[in-house]
């Protein structure tokens, strides 16, 4: 009887003292689908400085869809995005991954990565007028001082630009421009990111991208329109609108028919190539 009591007490002690379970050694086919909530990966506003291959991390201060990172090599995090597979489902995943094209992510407190998903296989495309720009690798902007806002955009020449009133430098593929306090009128806005005392703010992003957009410019009566290099240039149609020219020195000064001029005493008009006529001006 005494031996039985000792054994029971020992078993009870073991049951109450075990507060941790080694799922790998003490479970089989663990299934958490019935749990109210699970947190399968670590999370935070900054990627850890070190990692081992196979670790996962959920970055909380970036746009939805750009949160999950995997440790592909020792101390090297990579953004995990959808990969194409067989059938229509794979194509849908690939297209969904492009929703993060040319978006920013904070890879450290001082480094802003732009277009983390851009690659030769999945280029990040943007359109300026009739020209499609393709970015096949990410770039980054590093801040060293300042409090304010960075404006990330494509300029009228297609350069990926970080305009700022901070102290910022750009890696290859990016252009840092100081003295910018708003998106230039001829730019294609991507996003803004705020900074405080030389560090990028967690959650300081405002997405300005548009998935689809266009601008149609039509030349009205008296105008001509020419589109080249993604830019549309409007000019006066000389066959409908007379164009002013400098006062001719002689009646044979160079001119094209229809241009005119005046010096206050005479009205000049070009009636044929390099042939001017004039009429005296008088009050009435």
Work out whether strand 175-178 and strand 160-164 pair parallel, antiparallel, or are unpaired. parallel
Q: What is the mean pLDDT of the chain?
A: 82
d(CA 261, CA 248): 8
pLDDT at 107 over 70: yes
Which has the higher per-residue pLDDT, 88 or 41? 41
Least confident of 16-25, 163-172, 198-207, 241-250: 16-25
Per the CB < 8 A criterion, the answer to whether 259 and 277 are in contact is no
Residue 66: burial class (beta carbons within 10 Å; 0-12, 13-18, 19+): buried
Using the 8-state DSSP alphabet, how is residue 177 labeled? E
pLDDT at 185 over 60: yes
| Per-domain boundaries in the chain | 43-81+92-207, 223-280
d(CA 266, CA 275): 16
Q: Which residue, chain included where needed, has tokens 């008296």?
A: 222
Mean pLDDT of 98-122: 87
d(CA 171, CA 55): 28
**73-102 burial, b if ≥16 CB within 10 A, otherwise e?**
eeeebebbbbeeeeeeeeeeebeebbbbbb
Per the CB < 8 A criterion, the answer to whether 31 and 15 are in contact is no
Mean pLDDT of 256-284: 94
Q: What is the pLDDT of residue 147?
A: 97
As a whole number of Å, the CA-based R_g of the chain is 33
Q: pTM to 2 decimals?
A: 0.51
Is residue 246 very low, low, confident or very high in pLDDT (cuts 50, 70, 90)? very high
Of residues 99, 110, 123, 47, the one with CA closest to residue 78: 47
pLDDT at 87 over 50: no
Per the CB < 8 A criterion, the answer to whether 110 and 142 are in contact is yes
């Amino acid at each position: 009887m005494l031996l039985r009591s000792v054994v029971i007490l020992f078993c009870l002690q073991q049951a109450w003292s075990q507060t941790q379970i080694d799922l790998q050694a003490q479970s089989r086919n663990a299934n958490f689908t019935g749990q109210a909530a699970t947190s399968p990966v670590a999370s935070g506003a900054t990627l850890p400085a070190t990692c081992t291959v196979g670790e996962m991390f959920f970055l909380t201060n970036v746009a939805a869809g750009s949160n999950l990172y995997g440790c592909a090599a020792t101390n090297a995090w990579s953004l995990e995005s959808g990969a194409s597979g067989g059938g229509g489902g794979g194509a849908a995943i690939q297209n969904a991954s492009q929703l993060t094209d040319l978006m920013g992510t904070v890879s450290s407190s001082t480094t802003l990565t732009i277009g983390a998903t851009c690659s030769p296989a999945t280029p990040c495309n943007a359109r300026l007028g009739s020209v499609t720009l393709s970015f096949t690798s990410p770039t980054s902007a590093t801040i060293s001082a300042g409090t304010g806002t960075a404006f990330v955009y494509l300029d009228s020449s297609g350069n990926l630009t970080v305009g700022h009133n901070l102290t910022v430098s750009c890696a290859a593929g990016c252009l840092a421009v100081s003295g910018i306090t708003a998106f230039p009128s001829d730019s294609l806005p991507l996003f803004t990111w705020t900074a405080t005392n030389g560090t990028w703010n967690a959650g300081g992003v405002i997405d300005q991208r548009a998935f689809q957009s266009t601008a149609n410019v039509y030349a009205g009566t008296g105008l001509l329109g020419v589109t080249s290099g993604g830019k549309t240039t409007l000019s006066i149609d000389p066959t409908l609108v007379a164009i002013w020219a400098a006062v001719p020195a002689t009646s044979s000064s160079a001119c094209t028919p229809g241009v005119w001029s005046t010096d206050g005493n005479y009205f000049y008009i070009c009636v044929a190539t390099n042939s001017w006529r004039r009429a005296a001006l008088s009050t009435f």
